[in-house]
């Protein structure tokens, strides 16, 4: 039993810390984010690819750095801490295991940031139940024709390809019969509606009406995509938990700093006990979120088969505690915390979206209860 980061992981954490501090400094972040606006900061994706970070979630056989859950945790947590607007959790961690059989050149393009892939979620009315797939795939000629709606393609706004779960057989939330397709953004019969979320991430909705795909675009075996999809979502859930934990870390520390420097009634506001106790509760929430995330991450790494129960525990707990921390941080900052100028407000926007993505706390609590 060892909960310390390995030497490699510490080095990775340091390198993200440097990048975050230099390239995306806290004092300028609000301005950078505002300037970026709806177009986002696409150049950052190439920069982090150059640092090799996009290789982390891919297995060694794929030319990646191993794809271990705890490495991804370190990566995502650093990104969350610096509020880096790079969708690593979704465009790398979430999709990596699903691309394992893709040609080497394609994988290289993904890992070097030339090509972006996003996973299409939010099928029809399924809300957060990712295995509840109504989109259909019918064999037509050499390939398949897809019909359906995907409401939430996580960070799909700038993606070149989409992984689309569709039914080749079965119905409802049956595991059997889900197939995964890799679909180019340019496919015929595919309409992409891009939108921006409050954290300035760029997602999209896919409307598939007779979208065509060649047979080579089937990922894995026909009808056997349910299990890998569930596993991939689990990895994505864990990475998003880590990202939120990194954000909580930053929020706790910058709020503590504010309590020590902001004066009212002739003294630092951190001398008031009611504020001290709130601050302590924020740090406890962080400790809880960190603990359950590490636990779920390491159990996943060690192959504990629990149908994602521990990952759901983490997602629920992290959702609750991270929003608590972000809301408290604003309260302790007072009016300035609500302003666009304060990075605190950006953290709440991001954490609100992180809680929602891949299922919010309430969904994962129900899921945890259902697996019991």
Partner 1 sequence: MNLELSPEDLAFRDELREFFAGAVRPEYRTAIRAGLRPTPQQLTEWQATLAERGWGAPTWPKEYGGTGWTPTQLYIFETEAARADAPIQFHQGLELIGPIIFTFGTDDQKERYLPRIISGEDWWCQGYSEPGAGSDLAALSTRAVRDGDHYVINGQKMWTSYAHVASHMFCLVRTSKEERRQQGISLILVDMNTPGIKIRPVETLDEKHHTNEVFLDDVRVPVSNLLGEEGKGWGYGKVLLDRERAVGASTALRLRSQVDAIYSAARRIPFGGATLADTPAVATQLAQLEIEALTIETMVMRLMADAAAGVDSGPRASMLKLRWSETLQKVTELWTEVLGYDAAVFEDLSGEGVPEDMPLALQGALYARVTSIYGGSSEIQRNIIARRSLGL
Interface ranges with partner 1 (CB under 8 A): 1-6, 9, 70, 256, 259-260, 270-271, 273, 276-277, 279-281, 283-284, 287-288, 291-292, 294-295, 298-299, 301-302, 310, 313, 316-317, 365-366, 368-369, 372
**Residue 9 or 147 having the CB closest to partner 1:** 9
**DSSP H or E run through 218:** strand 218-219
**Residue 184 or 253 having the CB closest to partner 1:** 253
**Residue 200 or 321 having the CB closest to partner 1:** 321
Q: Which class for 241: exposed (0-12), middle (13-18), buried (19 or more C-beta within 10 A)?
A: buried
**Residue 229 or 354 having the CB closest to partner 1:** 354
At closest approach, how far in Å is the CB of 370 from partner 1? 8
- Provide the β-strand partners of residue 165: 180
At closest approach, how far in Å is the CB of 272 from partner 1? 9
At closest approach, how far in Å is the CB of 349 from partner 1? 25
CA gap 131, 122 in Å, rounded: 10
**Residue 109 or 306 having the CB closest to partner 1:** 306
Give yes or no for a contact between 61 and 48, defined as CB atoms under 8 angstroms apart.
no
Max Cα–Cα distance, the chain, nearest Å: 78
What are the two backbone dihedrals, phi and then psi, of residue 152, each rounded to the nearest 5 degrees? -135, 95
At closest approach, how far in Å is the CB of 39 from partner 1? 38
**DSSP H or E run through 165:** strand 161-167
- Provide the β-strand partners of residue 164: 181
**Residue 70 or 123 having the CB closest to partner 1:** 70
Strands (E), 74-199: 117-123, 136-140, 143-153, 161-167, 178-184, 190-196
Residue that has been written with the tokens 């809300």 in this structure: 127
**Residue 140 or 263 having the CB closest to partner 1:** 263
At closest approach, how far in Å is the CB of 288 from partner 1? 5
At closest approach, how far in Å is the CB of 232 from partner 1? 21
The count of other CB atoms within 10 Å of the CB of residue 208 is: 26
At closest approach, how far in Å is the CB of 57 from partner 1? 16
Give yes or no for a contact between 109 and 60, defined as CB atoms under 8 angstroms apart.
no
CA gap 214, 144 in Å, rounded: 7
Residue 95: which of 297, 205, 218, 233 has the closest Cα?
Answer: 233
**Residue 175 or 256 having the CB closest to partner 1:** 256
**Residue 64 or 270 having the CB closest to partner 1:** 270
Residue 187: which of 150, 152, 223, 214 has the closest Cα?
Answer: 214
Which 3 state secondary structure label does DSSP give 338? Answer: helix
CA gap 370, 354 in Å, rounded: 23
At closest approach, how far in Å is the CB of 333 from partner 1? 16
At closest approach, how far in Å is the CB of 354 from partner 1? 18
């Amino acid at each position: 039993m060892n909960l310390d980061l390995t030497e490699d992981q510490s080095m990775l954490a340091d390198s993200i810390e440097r990048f975050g501090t230099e390239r995306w400094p806290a004092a300028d972040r609000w301005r950078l984010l505002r300037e970026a606006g709806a177009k986002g900061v696409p150049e950052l994706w190439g920069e982090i690819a150059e640092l090799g970070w996009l290789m982390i979630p891919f297995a060694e056989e794929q030319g990646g750095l191993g794809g271990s859950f705890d490495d991804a945790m370190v990566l995502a947590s650093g990104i969350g801490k610096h509020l880096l607007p790079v969708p690593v959790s979704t465009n790398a961690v979430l999709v990596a295991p699903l691309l394992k059989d893709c040609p080497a050149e394609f994988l290289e393009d993904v890992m070097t940031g030339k090509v972006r892939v996003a996973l299409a979620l939010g099928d029809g009315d399924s809300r957060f139940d990712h295995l509840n797939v109504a989109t259909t795939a019918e064999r037509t000629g050499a390939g398949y024709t897809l019909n359906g709606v995907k409401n939430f393609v996580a960070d799909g706004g700038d993606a070149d390809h989409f992984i689309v779960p569709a039914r080749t057989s079965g119905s409802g939330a049956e595991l059997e019969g889900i197939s995964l397709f890799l679909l180019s953004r340019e496919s015929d019969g595919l309409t992409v509606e891009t939108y921006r979320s409050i954290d300035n991430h760029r997602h999209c909705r896919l409307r598939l009406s007779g979208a065509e795909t060649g047979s080579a675009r089937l990922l894995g075996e026909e009808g056997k995509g349910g299990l890998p999809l569930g596993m991939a979502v689990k990895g994505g859930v864990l990475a998003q938990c880590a990202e939120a934990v990194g954000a909580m870390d930053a929020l706790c520390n910058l709020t503590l700093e504010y309590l020590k420097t902001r004066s009212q009634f002739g003294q630092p506001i951190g001398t008031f006990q009611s504020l001290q106790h709130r601050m302590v509760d924020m740090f406890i929430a962080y400790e809880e979120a960190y603990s359950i995330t590490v636990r779920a991450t390491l159990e996943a790494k060690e192959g504990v088969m629990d149908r994602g129960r521990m990952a759901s525990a983490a997602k629920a707990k992290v959702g609750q505690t991270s929003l608590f921390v972000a809301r408290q941080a604003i309260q302790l900052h007072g009016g300035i915390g609500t302003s666009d100028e304060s990075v605190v407000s950006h953290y709440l926007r991001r954490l609100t979206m992180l809680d929602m993505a891949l299922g919010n706390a309430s969904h994962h609590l129900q899921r945890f209860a259902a697996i019991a």
